[in-house]
Amino acid sequence: ELKERDDTVEFIPARVIGRDVVPYVSALTIDGGRAAGMEEQMAVVTRRGLAGQIVEVHPTTARVLLITDVNSSVSARIQNPESRATGVVRGRVEGGLVMQYIAQNERVQTGDWVITAGMGGIFPEGIIIGQVIQVRRKDVDVYQEALIQPAVEVDKLERVFVIKRPAQPHEAGRGS
């Protein structure tokens, strides 16, 4: 669907060739790297949705920080006809994802889909992140939050696609 919305987007296929074994770190290594046109801060996806982003690039490999990592954050939106609520999706130590900073007056319910909001320039708008499995509201809080089941099973990834977007006009002169 992303390719249909923006035909300037390219997908670089990659294979998972390594996984971090450090506790509380959700990252993996993919083949390709700089030689395949990969750069830091490129989004990594599968057919099912968002997997993460590239945080390190080497000549023939790249390191991907998965969306389930506690250091990961993605601007997101609830995909619900009654609510276009926005917030930030982060990885949880306990596993899974949490969407934070959802205004208390927004309607969010179990089963709603969560997609990328397209803010920040790394993740294109409209990529599926996951589905709401629990909503947490407290009348005394300014915000509510939602627990999210990721669309992508990051533990089982074997093949991914890196999204290569064309340089923006303000980026064209960089590095020269």
Q: pLDDT tens digit string along 106-138?
A: 999 999 999 999 888 889 999 999 999 999 987
H or E element, residue 98: strand 97-103
Q: What is the pLDDT of residue 140?
A: 81
DSSP state of 4: H
Give the CA diameter of the chain: 54
Q: What is the pTM for the complete model shown?
A: 0.88
Task: Identify the segments of the chain with pLDDT beneath 50.
Answer: 169-176
**Bridge partners for 97 per DSSP:** 91, 148
**β-strand pairing of 27-31 with 10-19:** antiparallel
Q: Which two tokens stand for residue 4?
A: 């249909």
Q: What is the pLDDT of residue 171?
A: 43
H or E element, residue 14: strand 10-19
**Taking the CB of residue 1, how many other CB atoms lie within 10 A of it?**
8
Q: What is the pLDDT of residue 21?
A: 77
Q: What is the pLDDT of residue 120?
A: 82
Place of tokens 């407290």: 138
Angstrom distance (rounded) from CA 151 to CA 49: 6
